[in-house]
Amino acid sequence: MVEAVLQPLPESHVDDKRRIPGNKGIWVGITCVFIEFTVLFAVYFISRAHFPEAFHEGAQRLSLASGTVITLLMITSSYFIACSVNAIRLGRHGSSVRWLVAGLLVALGYPLAKFLEIRWNLAHGIDGDSGIFFTVYYYLTFNHLVHATWGILGILWVLARLLVRGYSADDYSGLEALASYWHATDIIWLIIFPLFYVLA
Amino acid sequence: MNGKPDHFSALTLTWLALVALTLVSLGLSEWFRSVRWLPLLVAAIIWLKGAMVARWFIESHVAHPFIARIIQAFIALSPTALVLTAFFGDTLARWATL
């Protein structure tokens, strides 16, 4: 009876095959970011439930073009970085560098587009005091921009390491960790976009 | 080549689908602005886009179960909240009143 209890549990067949994309550290960070944005989205939905008219009218005043451009930039940079990971796995170092540079250039379009959007907002009298919708909008989108900025700095670091052949087909966890973070940031924007720009 | 599969085609198809869904979202905001079930459709698109990024870019289907579950939960959260807010907004507001 005692022997039966002390025997090790059979390991899950599923767990054997599954892996951690990147490394454990980045997933601790991504989980914290998910929790942070869950709280921010809770603020959004509670505010929306209390002030449906303000949210309906507020979305109509935002620049749909800006939201769309940022969405396309996020999706495309995410795709380029995923291609960079795919290339390094296949041992194509040069191709991986080119995809990552492309991802960086497109990612840099996000802060630029956001800067132009804010300028457009201010020119149209939209600031943090314009009502509950815009307070939540600025708080959530600025927060996302901050996280994207960390991601851009991460891309620069990973690119520098990739250029000195710090990653190879056998060891690319740093590149994959950065990619995971950027994809998580992408997912968050894909939620923000319709909530603020589409549901007018 | 090192025997590892090349996912370039799948990644490209995913990117094209994400772009297409974004453009569909724009159409929805124009054509169905005052339709009652618009939040339902928007919620479905949010979930679909998130699931596609998770499946093809992050490869969550081969990730550790904890990672896969945390992504699934996060992707499902906002669409669910959107539908609840759209159809039961008054109840939610009452519950969330201090």
Higher-confidence residue: A138 or B98? A138
Q: Which of residues 2-61 of B touch A (CB under 8 A)?
A: 2, 4, 6-8, 11-12, 14-15, 18-19, 22, 25-26, 28-29, 33, 38-39, 42, 45-46, 49-50, 53-54, 56-59
Which candidate in B78, B83, B90 is best for mutational testing of the A interface (most A CBs within 10 A)? B78
**Given this model, what pLDDT does residue A5 score?**
52
**Given this model, what pLDDT does residue A8 score?**
52
Cβ–Cβ below 8 Å for B57 and A186: yes
**Given this model, what pLDDT does residue A7 score?**
57
Q: Which of A15, A82, A198 sits opposite B57 (nearest CB)?
A: A82
Q: CB neighbours (10 Å) of residue A8? A: 5
- Asked whether residue B1 carries a pLDDT value surpassing 90, the answer given is no
Higher-confidence residue: B1 or A86? A86
Q: A72: exposed, middle or buried (C-beta count within 10 Å: 0-12, 13-18, 19+)?
A: middle
| Nearest chain B residue to A99, by CA | B8
Cβ–Cβ below 8 Å for B54 and A52: no
- Give pTM, 2 decimals: 0.92
Burial code of A164-191, b = ≥16 C-beta within 10 A, e = fewer?
Answer: eeebebeebebbbbbbbbbbbbbbbbbb
**Given this model, what pLDDT does residue B30 score?**
82
Q: Which of residues 85-114 of A touch B (CB under 8 A)?
A: 86, 89-91
Is A75 part of the contact surface with chain B (CB cutoff 8 Å)? yes
Angle of the B8-31 helix axis to the B38-52 helix axis, nearest 10? 170
- Asked whether residue B4 carries a pLDDT value surpassing 90, the answer given is no
- Asked whether residue B20 carries a pLDDT value surpassing 90, the answer given is yes
Q: Which of A184, A187, A199 sits opposite B39 (nearest CB)?
A: A199
| Nearest chain B residue to A71, by CA | B22
What are B23-72's pLDDT values in tens digits?
999 898 788 877 888 999 999 999 999 999 999 999 999 999 999 999 99
Q: Which of B6, B62, B93 sits opposite A18 (nearest CB)?
A: B62
Which regions of chain A are under pLDDT 50?
Answer: 1-2, 9, 11-14
Of the candidates A41, A177, A179, the residue with the CA atom closest to the CA atom of residue A107: A179
Q: Which of B63, B84, B93 sits opposite A19 (nearest CB)?
A: B63
Output the CA angle B51-B56-B62, nearest 5 degrees.
95
ipTM of the complex: 0.94
d(CA A105, CA A120): 23
DSSP string, B41-90: HHHHHHHHHHHHIIIIII-GGGB-HHHHHHHHHHHHHHHHHHHHHHHHHH
